[in-house]
Structure 1
Amino acid sequence: MTTAYCFDLDGTLTRQELLPLIASSVGLEDEISVLTEATISGVLPFDKSFKLRVRLLRDAKLDWIHAALSEQVEFDRHILDFIASRPEQCFVVTGNLDIWVKPVLDRLGIQSFTSTARLDDGRLDGIAHILHKGDAVSSLRDRFERIIAVGDGMNDVPMFEAADWRIAFGGTHSPNRLLVKLSDFVINDGNALCRLLNML
């Protein structure tokens, strides 16, 4: 049976939420952190929160963002090893903007689904498309017989609803309560997560 493994990016594959790191490059950590926490907990819908966060960060220079992410982003070694053992079956599914997270995705070296930026003269002008994670998972159905989703936040709910197996992962912070209810498994350690993925 062919299986696809769909991973959220922020706080799942990475040990940090990325937008607060991006915000630190322009001195907007507090504002972005409040919006990020409200989104993770489900208080603020992802689409609305993301539009607000993009508006706040629109003037941040792309090279500053890439430098901040390249220097500060850390991955769980066990999850990286798992991905490296089956790169054709692993996918990043993130609502983050493609142009912002490119250096992180390049380091992972696997296929990804992202939101896409609208550019004007090479500068961020807004959002061209906000990714619906359920659509990303569904698009893999013609290639894979089974889909396993791993995530931690409220915006992962559509991905979980479209997947066959659902794992709420608390490697960085406790997973969202609704996500936990939808989950088949709840795991808080990268090594344990990979052992489970190898057994499923």
Structure 2
Amino acid sequence: MASTTTPQTGLVALIFCKTALQIQNDDPLQSITSNLTTALQPLFPTLTPTTATTTRYLDASATTARVLELTLPTTGPSPSLPECTAATHSPALAALQAQNSWNLVLQPLELYRSHSQPGLAVFDMDSTLIQQEVIDELARAVGCYDQVAAITEAAMRGEAPYADFEASLRARVGLLRGVPVGVWEDLKKGVISFTPGAAELVKVLRGLGWKTAVLSGGFTPLAVWVKETLGLDYAFANHLVADEGRGVLTGELVEGMPIIHAEKKRELLLRLAGENGIPAERCVAVGDGSNDLLMMGAAGLGVAFNAKPKVQLAAPARLNGESLLDVVHVLGYERGEVEKFL
């Protein structure tokens, strides 16, 4: 279904299929487009899908594809991002996603097109760029994993009394008194694993001219290592006090150093954008926890990656899958554009 003119306003729907589709003769394309358009029309009455709808696969091989882009023009202004977010959680679209094992991301057309220009991409670290929650791994070293993990989970879900990130951080750090300072090297060598697609995503974004940063509620020794290993431009995290004489952590945070909580992440995103001359609408923030929501809201697009349920409901966009590399498709880049940087 091709358009003879380029729409100026509209809605872009990205469909991430759990299982790759066989695409000979474009058989699934027509069915998917029809079903989704039917579900979208009542939610966005100004859509004009019969006149100028365009479709393309973003990751197609010769015979299969998993990510479909559907662009539908509107007769008036494009839907807002909050309207797009709310629609993905509507009963009709929630049912369609569940029935077909889809993950649906909706964006205003103008925002989607803006991703073609290099911007700033910021990432949470724990359970986003890496697969672990670092403070939990530190806790294993002193046998208090269960206590720390319980606080971590409650904090990530935004539950009282640990909805305040700084309070939960200090409570957990206090349990780490006596952890050997050599634990960082142990974690790097045998515990920490990068999320599939993380290295490739950063490589592609950097190749496309994007600035990249990790903004972590974790700790500086690992955040700096993640930055250097992946080739990120910036790293910000919390600072732990170490008793160098005894070679252990004291269970305290360095006084005078900023706590990287939700508001600080938002502040850092806006600061880095300003320093690099990048407008906020060309910023993308990716995370999984409630302390990532403010930076997601400040960015042009926030993406919850395999996030906690509360975060999935609140985040501007959600992406549930095996590879962080799928973020490039959320930004509208095709497989061919991606592969030349890998």
TM-score normalized by structure 1?
0.86
Residue 308 of structure 2: aligned partner: 175
Residue 117 of structure 1: aligned partner: 240
Q: Which protein is bigger by CA-based radius of gyration?
A: 2
Give the aligned residue type for 1:11. Answer: S
**SS of alignment partner, residue 86 of structure 1:** helix
Give the aligned residue type for 1:159. Answer: M
Shift in Å, 1:73: 1.2
- 1:53-72 equivalent positions in 2, closer than 5 A: 53-72=172-191
Give the aligned residue type for 2:220. Answer: D
Question: For the Cα contact (< 8 Å) 1:70–1:103, is it kept in 2?
Answer: no
Cα 1:76/1:103, change in 2 over 3 Å: same
Shift in Å, 1:198: 4.7
Cα 1:185/1:161, change in 2 over 3 Å: closer
Residue 269 of structure 2: aligned partner: 137
Give the aligned residue type for 1:36. Answer: T
- 1:94-109 equivalent positions in 2, closer than 5 A: 94-99=216-221, 101-109=223-231
Residue 154 of structure 1: aligned partner: 290
1:39 aligned residue (149, 152, 155): 155
Q: Which has the higher helix share?
A: 1
**SS of alignment partner, residue 10 of structure 1:** coil
Q: Distance in 1 between matches of 2:152 and 2:182?
A: 22
Q: Distance in 1 between matches of 2:119 and 2:291?
A: 22
Q: Distance in 2 between matches of 1:100 and 1:85?
A: 22
Q: Distance in 2 between matches of 1:28 and 1:108?
A: 30
Give the aligned residue type for 2:129. Answer: L
Q: Distance in 2 between matches of 1:48 and 1:71?
A: 30
**SS of alignment partner, residue 91 of structure 1:** strand
Per-residue CA distance 1:36-77 (angstroms, 9 max, x = gap)? 101111011211110011111132112123302431111123
Q: Distance in 2 between matches of 1:25 and 1:104?
A: 21
Q: How many residues align?
A: 196
Tell which has more relative contact order, 1 or 2 (C-alpha 8 A, sep 6+): 1
Q: Percent of aligned pairs with the same residue?
A: 26
Per-residue CA distance 1:83-133 (angstroms, 9 max, x = gap)? 023346111110112135444443223221112234554754422331121
For structure 2, the 5+ residue unaligned runs are 1-116, 335-342
**SS of alignment partner, residue 304 of structure 2:** strand
Shift in Å, 1:79: 2.2
Note the aligned Cα RMSD (angstroms): 2.3
Question: For the Cα contact (< 8 Å) 1:7–1:91, is it kept in 2?
Answer: yes
For structure 1, the 5+ residue unaligned runs are none
TM-score normalized by structure 2?
0.52
Q: Distance in 2 between matches of 1:54 and 1:156?
A: 20
Is 1:187 the counterpart of 2:319? The answer is yes
Question: For the Cα contact (< 8 Å) 2:217–2:238, is it kept in 1?
Answer: yes
Per-residue CA distance 1:133-173 (angstroms, 9 max, x = gap)? 11111111211222100011011122123211011110xxx
Is 1:48 the counterpart of 2:171? The answer is no
Q: Distance in 2 between matches of 1:68 and 1:117?
A: 16
Cα 1:22/1:154, change in 2 over 3 Å: same
Is 1:2 the counterpart of 2:118? The answer is yes
